[in-house]
Amino acid sequence: MDEQLIFRYEIDGSNFTSAGEASVSVKKKLRQLGFAPEIIRRVSIAMYEGEINMVIHAHGGKAEVVVKNDRIEIILDDHGPGIPNIDLAMQEGFSTAPDNIRSLGFGAGMGLPNMKRYTDTMAIQTELGVGTRITMTVNI
Amino acid sequence: MKIKEIVRLLEADVLTCENLLDSDVYSACGSDMMSDVLAFVKDQGVLLTGLLNQQVVRTAEMMDMRCIVFVRNKRPGQEVLSLAEENGIVLLATAERMYEACGRLYTAGLIGGCTKPANTD
């Protein structure tokens, strides 16, 4: 059986200022576990972008990070509006974030592309009006 | 380049982590869009920005950046200062505008950090 560690977080969707706290916590835990800086950076950046997305678009959600023997999995679950067109959402520069988010430094349309860029696999399951689940893996 | 050299070049005020001014930094990036910062790998870099919220510090933390320079005389609030102190990130404030601040550092030999896309090495 695979040995594994699981970290679970509730992402508060009402507060943009606190967005990213879970990713910072994951980063610290992975550091304590002694992973290489590059692996830690990839996991935490991908999760950070996901967290920001959940706060901007989906009123928060749940995040789970699973450390396995050969990979780290990041699973982000929300009950937001869903993504109508994944291909479009994956294009760099495409964003549906409101203007006030742009003045906070996000909403450049780089979130999903960055998540893909930093991970080895990324799968998006989404249903309009129901929610979105994003599963990413980073090989160790 | 040592962070204290950045302080000198930009005539900057040191807002946090004065004990880390002897640390070395190897690249820099100027942006107000945090996702653009997150798109490129920068080892031990400096972030120059006009944005003042806590996400700037978290972005730097995610990218392992050691120093943030706030341009145009902007000063962050207490929460931002505390978060940076907690994470060992040096915050500096300069009166220079973004373009001039970047230019001074570049001319002094601190190269740009946004030239190497992630995952291509």
List of residues 6+ apart from A28 with CB closer than 8 A = none
Split at pLDDT 50, 70, 90, the class of B42 is: low
Section B80-106 average pLDDT: 96
Q: Determine the pLDDT at residue B118.
A: 47
Alpha-carbon gap: A46 to the closest alpha carbon of chain B (Å): 9
Number of separate domains in chain B = 1
Closest chain A residue to the Cα of B63, Cα to Cα: A41
pLDDT category at B119 given cuts 50, 70, 90 is very low
Answer whether B2's CB lies under 8 Å from A75's CB: no
Point out the residue among A20, A110, A117 whose CB comes nearest to the CB of B119. A117
Q: According to the model, what pLDDT value does residue A55 have?
A: 94
Q: Pick from A121, A112, A19, A124: which is nearest to A77 by CA?
A: A124
B12 lies in some domain:
yes
Please tell me whether residue A51 adopts helix, strand or coil conformation: helix
Give the residue numbers spanning the domain of B18.
3-107
Mean pLDDT to the nearest integer, A110-120:
95
pLDDT grade for B113, boundaries at 50, 70 and 90: low
User: Average pLDDT for residues B2-18, to the nearest whole number?
Assistant: 98
What's residue B49's pLDDT?
A: 96
Could you report the predicted ipTM of this complex, rounded to two decimals? 0.89
Q: Is residue B121 part of a domain?
A: no
Interface of A with B (CB under 8 A): 16-17, 19-20, 23-24, 27, 37, 41-42, 44-45, 48-49, 52, 104-111, 113-114, 117-118
Homologous superfamily (CATH) for A5-139: Histidine kinase-like ATPase, C-terminal domain (3.30.565.10)
pLDDT above 90: percentage of residues in chain A: 89
Strand pairing report for B90-93 and B13-14: antiparallel
Per-residue pLDDT reduced to its tens digit, A22-63:
999 999 999 999 999 999 999 999 999 999 999 999 999 999
Nearest CA in chain A to B60: A45
pLDDT at B120 (0 to 100): 41
Which pLDDT value is given to residue B117? 47
Using the predicted structure, report yes or no on whether residue A2 has a pLDDT greater than 70. Answer: no
At B22-38, the pLDDT tens digits run 999 989 999 999 988 99
- Chain B residues with CB under 8 Å of A114 CB are 35, 38-39
Provide the β-strand partners of residue B91. Answer: B68
Q: What are A86-107's pLDDT values in tens digits? A: 999 999 999 999 988 988 899 9
- How big is the A-B interface in CB pairs under 8 Å? 74
CA-to-CA distance for A20 and A52, rounded, in angstroms?
A: 7
Q: In chain B, which residues have their Cβ closer than 8 Å to the Cβ of A45? A: 38, 62-63
Q: Is B86 part of any domain? A: yes
Over residues B77-97, the mean pLDDT reads: 97
Which residues in chain B have their CB less than 8 angstroms from residue A108's CB?
Answer: 33, 35-36
- Interchain proximity A23–B39, CB inside 8 Å: no
Residue B14 sits in a domain of what CATH number? Answer: 3.40.1390.20
